[in-house]
Amino acid sequence: MKAGAGIFDLDGVLVDTARFHYLAWNELAAELGFEFTMVHNERLKGVSRMDSLEILLEIGNIQLSAGEKNLMAERKNSRYLQYVDAMTEQDILPGVITFLQKMRESGKRIALGSVSKNARIILQRTGMIGFFDAIVDGTLISKAKPHPEVFLTGAGLMNLPPEACVVFEDAVAGIEAAHRAGMKCVGVGDASILNQADLIISGFHGILPEHIPL
Ligand code: BG6
Ligand code: MG
């Protein structure tokens, strides 16, 4: 890595919680009487909880009052938290810990850039929280990705200019957010979906910071 810092998305990059978000939304959609597929789910990645619900309701062509929407969002979150409650360090994606350790050893800074309000609980449960110089989550920002606020806030907390940071993302909205923040972005996941990233890796397994030419 040439950059002095990495800003990591959480869900789907460091832990497999993107799957739990999908399962929780999928169960809600089933109750509402329509099918919510993994293809639909790509549109929800990096998007805030309420915006995700709006997209879900649009897919199911369902109208709800503001009060009903709040209840739905709460229900989704309690289901999601049932999955999160069972998480341990075993749920950290392969290669992540080694990658973060090597970054630390080479003096790179590490920040979290997630729009999730549950990010700190997950970092604590998985024992990763000690790696981070700065944590930006959904409680600190008001605009979800693709807005660059989450990443610009992360750079600000580390006292670094945007160009000193590389973002790691599994969401299309997250790649756009990184570019709008003036940062290079490594897409983590499926190359056919993340084709706007500056570099794509399928995951961190076998990947070290020196393999990232950004
Ligand atoms: C993002 C996920 O990290 O967090 C989205 O990619 C999710 O799918 C968003 O909707 C908000 O998460 P939470 O935990 O605050 O509902
Ligand atoms: Mg993600």
Closest Cα to atom 11 of ligand 1: 116
For residue 37, give every residue at least 6 positions away whose Cβ sits within 8 Å of its Cβ, in sequence order, or none: none
pLDDT tens for the 214 residues of the chain, in order:
999 999 999 999 999 999 999 999 999 999 999 999 999 999 999 999 999 999 999 999 999 999 999 999 999 999 999 999 999 999 999 999 999 999 999 999 999 999 999 999 999 999 999 999 999 999 999 999 999 999 999 999 999 999 999 999 999 999 999 999 999 999 999 999 999 999 999 999 999 999 999 9
**pTM exceeds 0.85:** yes
Question: Are 99 and 81 contacting, i.e. CB atoms less than 8 angstroms apart?
Answer: no
- Sign for the pseudo-dihedral over CA of 84, 86, 92, 97: positive
Q: Which ligand is nearest to the CA of 189?
A: 2
Which residues keep their CB under 5 angstroms from ion ligand 2?
Answer: 9, 11-12, 170-171
Q: Is 11 a catalytic residue?
A: yes
Give the Å distance between the CA of 189 and the centre of ligand 2: 10
Closest ligand by atom to 114 CA: 1
Cα(10) to centroid(ligand 1), Å: 9
Is 122 within 8 Å of 91 (Cβ atoms)? no
d(CA 57, CA 164): 39
Instruction: Kindly give the number of the ligand 1 atom that is closest to the alpha carbon of 77.
Output: 16
Distance between CA atoms of 176 and 147, rounded to whole angstroms? 8
Known catalytic residue: 9?
Answer: yes
